[in-house]
Chains A and B, each alone.
Chain A
Amino acid sequence: MTQFFDYLILGLTRGSMYALIALGYTLVYGVLQLINFAHSEVFMSGAFGSYIIVHLMVGKGPGTATWEVPFVFIVGVLSGAITAAIIAWLLERVAYRPLRRRGAPKLAFLISAIGASFFLSTLASKLFNSQTSNQFPAFFRNTVLFSIDGAHVRSLELIIIVSALGMMFFLDRLVNTTKLGRSIRAVSEDAPTAALMGINIDKTISRTFVIGGLLGGAAGFLFGLNYDFGFNMGFVPGVKAFAAAVLGGIGNIRGAMLGGLLLGVVENLVNLVPGFNTAWTDVVAFLVLVLVLMFRPTGLLGERLGRAA
C-alpha cells in the first residue's frame, strides 16, 4: 500500500501539470479547430521566465526566510504565467493570425506551428547556453508534511497539486460564468454567429491564447520546481498533455482536466504491476490513449459523433 500511495501522489503531481498544459491545447482547439503544436514551447517559456525572476529575488536560494517562501512562490507562478501568456499572444499574432486572414489551409497552420516551436526552443537554447539540466533556486526545503500508510506527502507535491486544482477550478468558473468565458464558448461553437452577437472574434482568439499561456506558464514554473529543466523540456510533457486533451475529448475543458490527471496517475500506478517499471511510463500513457479512443473515439467527455449541429 505504501507504494500505491507513493505512485498515486507522484501521478497526481505529474497529472496536474499535464492537465494545466492540456487546457491550453483544448482551449485553442475550441476556438480555432487547430492543434497549437507550439504550446509545449509556451510551457517551456514559463519555466525560464519564472526562473529569471525567482533567481533575481533569491539568488541560489539558501537564506530565503520561511516567511518569504509563499511570496516567492506566488511571484514564481505569476512570472511564469505572464511570460508564457506573452509568448502565446505573440505566437497567435505572428504564426497564426496572418494565415487566418488569408484563409490558408489547415496544413499551413500545422507547418507554421512546427516552425514556431523550433524557433522558440532554439532561441531558448541560445539564450541559456544549451543547458538541459538547469535547476531552480532551492528557496525552500521540501519537507515531509504527513504520511498516508507510510507514504510521505511532501510540501512541494502538495503545493503543486493544490495550486493546479485551484487554477483549474478558477478556469472552470471563468468559462462558465463570465462574459469572457461565454464569448470563448460562443466562438468555439459557431464563430460567424458569435460575431453577429457583437463578439470580436480576433480579440476572443487572442484572449484564449493568453489564458492557455497563463495556465501553461504556471505549469512551467511548477515543473521547474520539481525537475531539472532546459530548452528541450517542453517536448515530452507537451506530447503527454496533448494526449491528455485528446483522451478527455479535445475541445472539452473538463475533459482536459480529467484526461491530464488520469494520464498522470495511470502511467505511474503501472509501476505496481509486476514486470513493469518506470521505463514503461511513456509506453503506458499512449497505450491508454489508444485503448480509450478505440472505444470512445471522441474521448472521455468529448461530443458524441453525429450530434445535432
Chain B
Amino acid sequence: MTESMLGLVDVEVRYGNIRALKGISFEVGAGEIVALLGANGAGKTTTQKTISGMLRPSAGSITYEGSRIDGIPAHELIGLGICHVPEGRHVFPRMTVAENLEMGAFRFKRVDRTDLEHVLGLFPRLQERYRQVAGTLSGGEQQMLAIGRALMGKPRLLLLDEPSMGLAPLVVQQIFDIVRQINTAGVTVLLVEQNAAQALALANRGYVLETGEIVLTGTGPDLLADDRVRAAYLGEEIAS
C-alpha cells in the first residue's frame, strides 16, 4: 500500500437507536482500488455515505489527505475531490443528459470541455442521448450518466456504490473496464459491490463487512481464495 489517502478509525454510525456501523477502521491508499464487500444490510452504503458527508458518524474519525473530514457537510467535501456515485444512480430525472453532466461540474465556475469530451468518449451512449431527459434513459444508461457526472467533478477519490446493479453482464464488464481506466488515470476508487468475484479481480485489496463490522481483509486474490468469502459471496459449497 502506498501513502494513505483515506483512513477511518473506529467509525460508528447510528440511525436512531440502530447501530449500523459498530466502530469500523480501514484505509485506502492513494491510487488504489479497494473493494468493500458484504451481504445486504451489512453497512456498505452507510460507510460510503459517511465518507461523502451525507451521514455524520456518532463516534470515531475520518481522515482524508491528512486532515479530519468527519462532520464536514457533503456539499463542502466535493470541493476536496471526494465524488460519490450513490446507490441507485440518482440522476436528476427531469434534466437532460447534458444538464446532469453540468451538475457534476457545479462546483466549478464553468464546465471543463476536456472533462466533458473525456466522459463522452468513455460513454459514447451519453453522446447519442445528449439532449434526452435523464428519467427516460435505461438503467444502464443512467448508471453511465451517474458515473460520468461524478467524473465531471474531477474526483481524486471516487466512491462507487454498486455500479453493476441491475445491468446485463456485458454492460457490467464495460463499467468495470471503465473503472479500471479511471483508476489508471490516477483516481483512487472505493468500490462497493455484490459482484464479489469481479470486484476482487479488479481491486488491489478488499474488506468484508458483516452487520456493521469488518470481519475480513486482504488482497483481491487472498479474499477470492478464502473459504468464507467463497461460501458467502460466490455461492460455492464448502466441503467441511
Contacts and interface: CB of A to CB of B under 8 A. Distances in A.
Contacts of B76: 198
A186 B75 contact: no
Interface string A166-207: 000000000000010011011001101111111111000000
Given A195-B73, A198-B79, A182 B86 contact: no
Nearest to B102: A182
B52 A197 contact: no
A182 B104 CA distance: 12
Contacts of A201: 75
A145 interface: no
Contact of B92 (A190, A198, A307): A190
Given A186-B92, A190-B92, A197 B54 contact: no
A308 interface: yes
Contacts of A193: 86, 90, 92
B136 interface: yes
A309 interface: yes
Contacts of B230: none
Given A186-B103, A193-B90, A198 B95 contact: no
Given A197-B104, A198-B79, A185 B92 contact: yes
A183 to B, nearest CB: 7
B103 A197 contact: yes
Contacts of B104: 197
A192 B73 CA distance: 11
A179 B99 CA distance: 11
Nearest to A199: B75
A31 to B, nearest CB: 14
A182 B93 contact: no
Nearest to A308: B135
Nearest to B137: A308
A196 B52 contact: yes
A195 B76 CA distance: 9
B93 A197 contact: no
A307 B149 CA distance: 22
Contacts of A308: 93, 135-136
Contact of B135 (A197, A200, A307): A307
Contacts of B78: 196-198
A192 B54 contact: yes
Interface residues of B, number: 27
Contact of A198 (B75, B86, B90, B93): B75
Interface in B57-97: 73-76, 78-79, 83-84, 86, 90, 92-95
B106 A182 contact: yes
Contacts of A190: 90, 92-93
Given A196-B54, A198-B79, A201-B75, A185 B86 contact: no
Contacts of B53: 195
A196 B135 contact: no
B153 interface: yes
B54 A189 contact: no
A200 to B, nearest CB: 5
Contacts of A197: 75, 78, 103-104, 106-107, 149, 153
B107 to A, nearest CB: 4
Contacts of B73: 195, 200
Contact of A189 (B84, B92, B106, B107): B92
B179 to A, nearest CB: 18
Which of the listed residues A179, A195, A199, A309 has the most CB atoms from chain B within 10 Å of its own CB?
A: A195
Contacts of A182: 99, 102-103, 106
Nearest to B73: A195
Contacts of A194: 103
A197 B75 CA distance: 7
A195 B94 contact: no
A53 B133 CA distance: 46
Nearest to B49: A192
B79 A189 contact: no
Contacts of B93: 189-190, 307-309
A104 to B, nearest CB: 15
B140 to A, nearest CB: 14
| From B53, B83, B92, B149, residue with most partner A Cβ within 10 Å | B92
Given A192-B74, A195-B74, 7 more contacts: A193-B86, A193-B90, A195-B53, A197-B78, A197-B107, A307-B135, A308-B136
Kindly list the 10 A-B residue pairs having the minimum CB-CB distance in the complex, ordered from nearest. Answer: A198-B107, A195-B74, A193-B90, A198-B78, A197-B106, A308-B135, A189-B92, A195-B75, A200-B75, A197-B103
12 contacts: A183-B106, A185-B94, A189-B93, A192-B90, A196-B52, A197-B75, A197-B107, A198-B79, A199-B75, A199-B106, A307-B93, A308-B136
